[in-house]
A = this chain, B = another copy of it.
Amino acid sequence: MKKEKKAPVCEVEIVDEKKVAQAQKKIADTEQVLEMAEIFKLLGEPTRLKIVLSLINSELCVCDLAAAVDSNVSTVSHQLRLLRNARLVKYRKDGKMVFYSIDDKHINDAIEKIKEHTEE
């Protein structure tokens, strides 16, 4: 009887099936994992992280935000758009000025979601 030849590459062969299954369960909800990654990615860029941190205490207009994070209005505005889309920040218009602030509600939801995945 010919001995079964093993698959040549590791990708096909699993060492501990049980542990792999357990791990896969952790990341089964692909959409949620991608959402988490998206949030981390947004905070993972210095300019954006500085913007978010700057907004923790008080709302700021784009102009002041640019000064605070030592960048320029255009760059900050571009990054604010990304943060806005992900609802990490919200804004309020007042005449020709726009005041940005943390979108607490949505951020807290995000943190909860991450905790669920992380804890235990």
Contact = CB atoms under 8 A, between A and B. Distances in A.
A67 B17 CA distance: 10
Interface of A: 9-11, 13-16, 19-20, 22-24, 26-27, 33-34, 36-46, 49-50, 53-58, 60-69, 72-73, 97, 117-118
B60 A10 contact: no
B45 A41 contact: yes
A14 B50 CA distance: 17
Which of A9, A45, A54, A69: most chain B CB closer than 10 A? A54
Which of A24, A27, A42: most chain B CB closer than 10 A? A27
A18 to B, nearest CB: 9
